[in-house]
């Protein structure tokens, strides 16, 4: 995301252990107005709320100072005095992660436009998550709540129902709640399909480990679902997922680099690696460079998310609309707060391949290996005369024609790419829209 776009938002602060009302440190306060007008804070408050016990000269003076200072009344402060609120809370995990920042930016833009103050609650642990949710449902600190990328248990949902606080989720599948999501399994299939279409057969996977102390403590399931998609797509192509090529660890570039080094030290290393996130793909790129595996000459790399730095690194990736997902979640919550009925409950956003310089055909294979790689899996039709559509959103290499089958038997990489496009192309048209046929 362009830095200037982020700078256009007010400054939002988040502290892990408590909720923080959004405010900009250099924004004039009601106390500043009172001091400049030479009156008390209570007088300024009565002017703002249309109180009748204020002399006309005093009212005009206060309004002039408000205009001169550019003071904007806080909805939260007004809520305290009127007993009503215009405040939305957003619960996010790991606030500094690029995907979280993008989703949050989208939500804040919509909420600012609708003139809601925002409370940003950051959770790095299950304890912090439970603390924030308990406070938001028991103390009515907000009109409504958006939960981003944090799984909710049944007792969390029950608390929202009891408190009647409107709730929507983003990147979380939650029964009975408006939710804006993608199909992570379809995304895993789409990424694997892209690498298969280039001719790769030994495709590694680098993702998040499950278990105590891992990201799964907050209920993350995206990496696990993308791994499911990876396995399913290999199976659909007649290939078994080799456990040796699947490496799981802590989320982050450094951990991903270590896992990649393990893969590249294998006697038969992968020719491509699908990382469950762009952050992890950056670790893959670093390890490839340090291990003497040129990208994409000897190793193709595929990420997921399409964060800002992916384009800067020329990283091929599966793009999910991160900022749009936050904006859509905020719009749906605003609709609930207006009393509207939100349907459908499940809003599925599309995915697409962003092919850049990090993915290409594998090095040429010789003899039986090339012939075996070019052959369709058992039970699949041959290639003669077939010309299916290519995957939507996938950029082809120069000179590649959709559905073309090279006549020269010796052109192994081209034959392999055409083969995969032929026997899998139709299904990817659905997968690219977030739905697997």
- In terms of domains, do 327 and 211 share one? no
- In terms of domains, do 213 and 253 share one? yes
Model pLDDT, residue 328: 98
Domain count, the chain: 3
- In terms of domains, do 249 and 283 share one? yes
Q: What is the CATH number of the domain that holds 161?
A: 3.40.50.2300
- In terms of domains, do 304 and 340 share one? no
Model pLDDT, residue 84: 53
- In terms of domains, do 381 and 343 share one? no
Confirm whether 342 is domain-assigned: yes
- In terms of domains, do 8 and 54 share one? no
Give the contacts of 241 (CB within 8 A, at least 6 positions apart): 230, 231, 234, 235
- In terms of domains, do 127 and 144 share one? yes
- In terms of domains, do 130 and 232 share one? no
Confirm whether 294 is domain-assigned: yes
Model pLDDT, residue 167: 96
- In terms of domains, do 108 and 130 share one? yes
- Choose one of 71, 101, 131: the last residue of a domain: 71
Kindly tell me the sign of the dihedral angle through the C-alpha atoms of 410, 413, 416, 417.
negative
Report the chain's C-alpha Rg in angstroms: 26
Pick out the chain residues at pLDDT < 70: 1-27, 49-52, 72-85, 139-140, 211-217, 365-437
Which letter does DSSP use for residue 324 in this model? H
The enclosing H or E element of 289 equals: helix 278-290
Q: What number of CA atoms fall less than 13 Å from residue 262's CA on the CB side?
A: 16
pLDDT tens digits, one per residue of 92-127: 998 889 999 999 999 999 999 999 999 999 998 889
Task: Please provide the size of the chain in residues.
Answer: 437
Confirm whether 114 is domain-assigned: yes
| Closest to 396 (Cα-Cα) out of 406, 404, 408 | 404
Q: How many CB atoms lie within 10 A of CB 429?
A: 15
Confirm whether 437 is domain-assigned: no
Range of the domain at 153: 1-26+85-182+320-352
Model pLDDT, residue 284: 98
Q: How many CB atoms lie within 10 A of CB 35?
A: 14
Give whole-number Cα distances, 305 to 19, 55, 130, 238, 302, in Å. 28, 58, 27, 27, 10
- In terms of domains, do 369 and 304 share one? yes
Rounded distance between C-alpha atoms, residue 356 and residue 341, angstroms: 41
Cβ burial of 144 (10 Å; 0-12, 13-18, 19+) is buried
Confirm whether 80 is domain-assigned: no
Confirm whether 53 is domain-assigned: yes
- In terms of domains, do 145 and 203 share one? no
Confirm whether 209 is domain-assigned: yes
- The number of helix segments (H) and strand segments (E) in the chain equals 16, 13
- In terms of domains, do 369 and 270 share one? yes
Which letter does DSSP use for residue 87 in this model? E
Please tell me whether the peptide bond between 296 and the residue prior to it is cis, using omega within 30 degrees of 0: yes
Give ∠ CA 342-344-349 in degrees, rounded to 5: 110
- Choose one of 352, 375, 395: the last residue of a domain: 352
pTM (2 d.p.): 0.67
Model pLDDT, residue 68: 86
């Amino acid at each position: 995301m362009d830095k200037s776009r982020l700078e256009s938002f007010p400054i939002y602060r988040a502290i892990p252990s408590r909720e923080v009302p959004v405010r900009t440190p250099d924004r004039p306060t009601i106390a500043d107005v009172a001091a400049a007008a030479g009156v008390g804070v209570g007088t300024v408050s009565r002017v703002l709320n249309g109180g009748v016990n204020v002399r006309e000269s005093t009212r005009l003076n206060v309004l002039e100072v408000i205009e001169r200072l550019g003071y904007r009344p806080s909805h939260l402060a007004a809520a305290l005095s009127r007993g009503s609120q215009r405040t939305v809370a957003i619960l996010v995990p790991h606030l500094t992660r690029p995907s979280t920042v993008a989703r949050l930016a989208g939500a804040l833009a919509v909420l600012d436009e609708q003139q809601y103050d925002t409370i940003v609650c950051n959770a790095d642990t299950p304890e912090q998550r439970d603390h924030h949710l308990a406070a938001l449902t028991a103390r009515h600190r907000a009109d409504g709540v958006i939960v981003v990328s944090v799984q909710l248990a049944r007792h969390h949902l029950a608390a929202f129902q009891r408190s009647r606080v409107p709730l929507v989720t983003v990147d979380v599948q939650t029964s009975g709640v408006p939710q804006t999501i993608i199909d992570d399994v379809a995304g895993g299939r789409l990424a694997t399909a892209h690498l298969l279409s280039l001719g790769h057969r030994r495709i590694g996977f680098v993702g998040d480990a499950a278990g105590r102390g891992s990201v799964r403590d907050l209920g993350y399931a995206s990496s696990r679902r993308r791994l499911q998609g990876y396995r399913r797509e290999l199976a659909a192509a007649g290939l078994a997922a080799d456990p040796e090529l699947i490496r799981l660890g802590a989320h982050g570039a450094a951990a991903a680099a270590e896992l990649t080094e393990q893969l590249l030290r294998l006697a038969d290393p992968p020719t491509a690696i699908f990382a469950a996130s762009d952050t992890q793909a950056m670790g893959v790129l670093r390890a490839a460079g340090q291990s003497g595996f040129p990208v994409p000459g000897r190793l193709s790399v595929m990420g997921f998310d399409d964060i800002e730095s992916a384009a800067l690194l020329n990283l091929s990736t599966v793009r999910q609309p991160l900022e749009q997902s936050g904006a859509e979640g905020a719009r749906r919550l605003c609709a609930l707060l207006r009393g509207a009925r939100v349907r459908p409950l499940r809003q599925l956003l599309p995915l697409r391949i962003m092919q850049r310089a990090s993915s290409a055909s594998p090095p040429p294979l010789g003899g039986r290996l090339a012939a075996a790689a070019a052959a369709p899996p058992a039970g699949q039709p041959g290639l003669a005369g077939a010309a299916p559509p290519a995957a939507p959103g996938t950029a082809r290499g120069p000179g590649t024609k959709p559905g073309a089958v090279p006549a020269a038997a010796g052109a192994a990489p081209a034959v392999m790419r055409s083969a995969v496009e032929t026997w899998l192309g139709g299904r990817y048209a659905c997968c690219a829209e977030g739905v697997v046929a």
